[in-house]
Amino acid sequence: MVRKVSDHIYLIDTVALGLEEFVAAYLITGSSENALVDTGYASSLSNIVEELRQVGLRLHEIKYIIPTHLHLDHSGAASHIIKNSSKSLILCHPRAVKHFIDPSRLIASVREIYGESAALFGEVIPVPLENIRGVHEYEKLELGDVTLRFIHAPGHAPHQIVVYVEEDQALITGDAVSIQYPSSPVKIPTTPPPSYNHAETLETLEKLSKISSKIILRPHFGETPYTLNYFKEEVEILQNWRDRIRAFIEQGLTLDEIIESLLEEYDQRYRGLLRTLPSLHTTVRLSVLGMMKYLEEER
Ligand SMILES: [Zn+2]
């Protein structure tokens, strides 16, 4: 499924791991160049190719590939797109560059977190040096009649960027904001290991709240009109999440008990709705693990 979400932007459903409305990528079409923000998993590449075809584009017509961060649901297909389109260029956070060129540490970290199921994400292959460069804070990129602005957005991961599309006043957030699937009102914080940083996330949200956005475009999943309270609510959700997990730890609950308690809370609040959410258990588990690690290191 591909659909237009603003003047120059299409939402591409990557149908990650066979699930619809789970992982989105955003195609920005300028009068001189096109860019793809986030790519989905390597295993979703054929879906992306098909959806680009539906808007009349082929891989080599995407000049810029812009993974918001290294997590494979955002960056996995990037190196494969380069393999098929040697003139394209990956633009990313400066701290992510070395991991695209030599993904061995990234691969090890994904295996450690996901175990066997990491195989479902597809193969991670290196990117040639000449096909990648880091973008600096507030760097501008012109695609003809549309301008992108890159914002460093650490927190969810240290190597995250957010992309602002000036003419559309659209903010493509990466995982700087929580997960909310179209089928559900539940917002789930995304605070995963190995490097979630709560203080940096709050700083990033503060920074993003100062940008004049009309529309928020989230990878998980879809578009939301911007409202004045948008980022304030995001901060509240995260603070509440930290407080809940901290309290559970102080009560001496184990990881599994914490996950169970939080899932039960969700279930009571949003009866029935949760069963339709993709990978809820995994998301909650990872977000608990990442926050626990952060709280431990903070001490
Ligand atoms: Zn993600």
Which pLDDT does position 269 carry in this prediction?
79
Q: Per-residue pLDDT tens for 63-117? A: 999 999 999 999 999 999 999 999 999 999 999 999 999 999 999 999 998 888 8
Specify whether the CB–CB gap between 193 and 113 falls below 8 A.
Answer: yes
| For range 232-238, the mean pLDDT | 97
Q: Per-residue pLDDT tens for 153-181? A: 999 999 999 999 999 999 999 999 999 98
The CATH homologous superfamily of the domain defined by 2-235: Ribonuclease Z/Hydroxyacylglutathione hydrolase-like (3.60.15.10)
Taking a 5 Å cut-off on Cβ, the residues next to ion ligand 1 are 73, 175
Distance, CA 283 to ligand 1 centroid (Å)?
A: 10
Alpha-carbon distance values, 33 to 60, 141, 147, 164, 208 (Å): 11, 10, 11, 16, 26
Distance, CA 24 to ligand 1 centroid (Å)?
A: 9
Distance, CA 63 to ligand 1 centroid (Å)?
A: 23
Q: Per-residue pLDDT tens for 185-206? A: 789 999 999 999 999 999 999 9
Phi, psi at 107, each rounded to 5°: -60, -45
Distance, CA 175 to ligand 1 centroid (Å)?
A: 6
- Would you say residue 212 has pLDDT above 70? yes
pLDDT band at 276 (very low <50, low <70, confident <90, very high): low
Which pLDDT does position 24 carry in this prediction?
98
Distance, CA 8 to ligand 1 centroid (Å)?
A: 23
Distance, CA 220 to ligand 1 centroid (Å)?
A: 7
Edge-to-edge strand list for the sheet holding 140-142? 140-142, 147-152, 161-165, 170-172, 215-218, 222-225
pLDDT band at 267 (very low <50, low <70, confident <90, very high): confident
